[in-house]
């Protein structure tokens, strides 16, 4: 996937939260071989020494960093966090999250569009965490976003693609816009389904970090991305309402009285 002016080496993006240890995080990143990793400024800056240690670890992984505004609930909060992240991580990329509903961590799409406009005007390359709503998508693109990151399901739920119809419609309506399924993917099979719908990349965190074996799961997601892309390129058959025999009867010998 090409994101703004950068061609990502892999369609898999990996979050860095929730791992039991820095070593496990590093091993999982290497197994996933992601195109980018996301980092929360709020979490990593909580302690100065811990933050510096983590940043050293992240730089050592040699993977592009996509800072995010996780935990922000207002436009002002998200914009300020993005500005701080640009200084800390030395990148104008920002995954923009503005949460409007606590139980489902659903994006506040009104604040999201406003924050996206402010940040793009300041030169940020914004990756907005949004819903599959077509109108919201249009507003985000008008605000200057060149990538969309619709959710598959609520963050950390592992439910996969809750609304395949809506996601398919979004993909069809904006065929040339890079799109990443962000949030809700819990299994490699969900990743395959996302690519078969035509999406360009996926972003996962909890599905790997909280798996019984995070390193093996990271590797499985890397392989699922490869399978999904290859399956889409192979032009899968259309779904049908009626059975169609795989062995046709036309031209076969028939016996009658």
Closest CA relative to residue 158, chosen from 131, 198, 191: 191
Residue 185: φ, ψ to 5°: -75, 125
User: Which pLDDT does position 80 carry in this prediction?
Assistant: 95
User: Which pLDDT does position 241 carry in this prediction?
Assistant: 84
Indicate which residues carry an active-site annotation: 95
DSSP string, 237-254: PPP-SS---SS--TT---
User: Which pLDDT does position 242 carry in this prediction?
Assistant: 86
pTM across the whole model? 0.88
User: Which pLDDT does position 40 carry in this prediction?
Assistant: 87
Query: What percent of the residues of the chain are helix, what percent strand, and what percent coil, each to the nearest 5?
Result: 40, 15, 40
CA 218 to chain centre: 14
Using only C-alpha atoms, the chain has a radius of gyration, in whole angstroms, of 20
User: Which pLDDT does position 249 carry in this prediction?
Assistant: 64
User: Which pLDDT does position 236 carry in this prediction?
Assistant: 87
- Domain range list for the chain: 2-234
Burial of 210-241, coded b for 16+ CB within 10 Å and e otherwise, reads ebeebbebbbbbbebbbbbbeebeeeeeeeee
Residue 64: φ, ψ to 5°: -55, 140
User: Which pLDDT does position 255 carry in this prediction?
Assistant: 61
Cα dihedral 175, 173, 146, 28, rounded to 10, equals -70
Closest CA relative to residue 161, chosen from 133, 187, 127, 200: 187
Place of tokens 């899968």: 236
Closest CA relative to residue 29, chosen from 39, 14, 41: 14
Average confidence score pLDDT of the chain: 91
**Mode of pairing for the β-strands spanning 2-3 and 6-7:** antiparallel
Residues lower than pLDDT 50 in the chain: 46
What is the enclosing helix (H) or strand (E) of 156? none
Q: Which CATH code for domain 2-234?
A: 3.20.20.70
Structure tokens at 215: 């390193």
């Amino acid at each position: 996937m090409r994101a703004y002016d950068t061609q990502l080496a892999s369609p898999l993006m990996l979050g860095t939260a929730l791992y039991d240890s820095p070593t496990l995080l590093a091993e999982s990143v290497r197994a996933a071989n992601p195109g980018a990793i996301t980092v929360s400024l709020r979490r990593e800056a909580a302690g100065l020494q811990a933050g510096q240690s983590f940043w050293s670890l992240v730089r050592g992984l040699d993977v592009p960093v996509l800072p995010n505004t996780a935990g922000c609930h207002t436009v002002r909060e998200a914009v300020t966090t993005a500005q701080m992240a640009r200084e800390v991580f030395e990148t104008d990329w920002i995954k923009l999250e503005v949460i409007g509903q606590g139980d489902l961590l659903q994006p506040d799409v009104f604040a999201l569009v406003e924050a996206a406009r402010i940040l793009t005007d300041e030169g940020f390359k914004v990756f907005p965490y949004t819903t599959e709503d077509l109108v919201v998508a249009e507003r985000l693109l008008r605000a200057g976003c060149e990538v969309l990151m619709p959710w598959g399901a609520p963050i950390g739920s592992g439910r996969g693609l809750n609304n395949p119809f809506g996601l398919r419609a979004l993909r069809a309506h904006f065929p040339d816009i890079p799109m990443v399924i962000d949030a809700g993917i819990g299994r490699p099979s969900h990743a395959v389904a996302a690519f078969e719908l035509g999406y360009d990349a996926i972003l996962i965190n909890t599905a790997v970090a909280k798996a019984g074996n995070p390193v093996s799961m990271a590797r499985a997601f890397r392989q699922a991305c490869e399978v999904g892309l290859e399956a889409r390129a192979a032009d899968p058959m259309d779904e049908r309402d009626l059975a169609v025999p795989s062995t046709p009867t036309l031209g076969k010998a028939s016996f009658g009285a």
